[in-house]
Structure 1
Amino acid sequence: MTQATPFLMFQGGKGQAALDFWIETVPGSRIESVERFGPDGPGPEGTIIRAHAVIAGQKVMVHDSFLTHGFDFTPSWSFFLDVADRAEFDRLFDALSEDGGVLMPPDNYGWSTRFGWASDRFGVSWQVNLA
């Protein structure tokens, strides 16, 4: 069976820190498995070859690239989080945008009473919607 899984590639060994942050911040998130580079490389020892995680119910893979690439995350790819109450919306938006950036500040944009778009400190974008 063919299966598609979002693949998040980090540079500079940030994968574990990103996973830890998301697991701590986003309900319904967990790390399922992590495979790491050993002392023989080719990546720095302890960085992630492949991690399988669930972020708010969505299966994802994470990798720490040991190569330098001329690209990184862009806002055109994002997690979209539907949340049930205003307090949870505010908590998530504040945590996810801290040390990152606000792409669309929380507001009523016509399709939702409260919506905001942020980029977290790892460069991954999050759309937070009060459902």
Structure 2
Amino acid sequence: MKSATPFLMFQGQANEAIEQYKQWFPDLEVVSLAYMDNSQQVAMAVLHLKGLKLLVNDSAIQHEFTFTPSTSVFIECDSEEEINRFVAQMLEGGQALMPLNHYGFSKQFAWIQDRFGMSWQLSYD
């Protein structure tokens, strides 16, 4: 096996999602980004976030499915201010699957599905 990499398939929102994620995560690196011919649809992008490689694209085929909340990116935050900022940003157009709270397994935790349908677990110990 050469590699195993999470793959995020959007349906026309990949470019917008990448731009949003760059704002949320200033250290997000867009390693490569290619567009479909005569389009702003993402053919393939490679992102790096804190050692995590993500592949991102827009599907050329419309599907009856999208992201599921059970697959998520788990973010360990450095401070309460950071987790509060992420939660507030991700809730703009998104929804809290588990609102920011103390659930016993960390000081603060939230599970947010952003406006693109991508799920994020945010934890601060």
* TM-score interval, normalised by the smaller of the two chains: over 0.9
- Secondary structure of 2:116's counterpart equals coil
Aligned to 1:55: 49
- Secondary structure of 1:51's counterpart equals strand
Query: Offset of 1:99 from its aligned partner?
Result: 0.5
Q: Where does the alignment leave 5 or more consecutive residues of structure 2 unmatched?
A: none
- Secondary structure of 2:69's counterpart equals coil
Aligned length: 125
Q: Distance in 1 between matches of 2:104 and 2:66?
A: 31
1:98 equivalenced with 2:97 (yes/no): no
- Secondary structure of 2:105's counterpart equals coil
* Structure 1 residues 1-131: aligned runs within 5 Å: 2-11=2-11, 13-39=12-38, 45-131=39-125
Amino acid at match of 1:9: M
Query: Offset of 1:27 from its aligned partner?
Result: 4.0
Q: What do the CA deviations read for 1:30-56 (whole angstroms, capped 9, x no partner)?
A: 2110111113xxxxx231111001134
Q: Distance in 1 between matches of 2:9 and 2:18?
A: 12
- Secondary structure of 1:4's counterpart equals coil
- Between the two proteins, what is the percent identity of the paired residues? 37
Distance 1:94 1:57, change over 3 A: farther
Runs of 4+ deviating beyond 6 Å: none
- Secondary structure of 1:31's counterpart equals strand
Q: Distance in 1 between matches of 2:40 and 2:88?
A: 30
Q: Distance in 2 between matches of 1:82 and 1:28?
A: 14
Q: Distance in 1 between matches of 2:102 and 2:48?
A: 29
- Secondary structure of 2:37's counterpart equals coil
Q: Distance in 1 between matches of 2:3 and 2:118?
A: 23
Q: Where does the alignment leave 5 or more consecutive residues of structure 1 unmatched?
A: 40-44
Q: Distance in 1 between matches of 2:107 and 2:73?
A: 19
Q: Distance in 2 between matches of 1:20 and 1:37?
A: 17
- Secondary structure of 1:118's counterpart equals strand
TM-score, normalised with respect to structure 2: 0.94
